[in-house]
Amino acid sequence: MTGAEVLDIASSGIWTLIKLSVPVLLVGLVVGVIVALFQALTQIQEQTLVFVPKIISIFLALLVAFPFMGSVLGSFTEQISQLIVSGF
């Protein structure tokens, strides 16, 4: 196995990780900004106000994104399995 092949596999793994994490991170970012804007507009300085909406929205985003995440992870696993079977 050459260095270029190792880098291709690592790059593919990193892109798969990015594809898996983007939906959840974007939802957390958007909800965090909305709550921070709400806090700034109403001058509520409660630090724990951010956590409950963020946790609920991330949980819902995970429920919605699980089929997409499963298909991405399944295709990556098939790709790696084919490389192992073919002997690289």
Domain residue limits at 63: 3-86
Nearest Cα neighbor of 28 from 69, 1, 60 is 60
- pTM here? 0.80
Q: Which residue has the tokens 């949980």?
A: 59
Residue 26 vs residues 65, 86, 88: alpha-carbon distances, Å: 12, 37, 36
pLDDT by residue (tens digit) across 49-65?
Answer: 889 999 999 999 999 99
Confidence at 48, pLDDT banded by 50, 70, 90: confident
In angstroms, how far apart are the furthest CA atoms of the chain? 62
| Tally of domains within the chain | 1
Residue pair 61/23 in contact by the 8 Å Cβ criterion: yes
Residue pair 35/53 in contact by the 8 Å Cβ criterion: yes
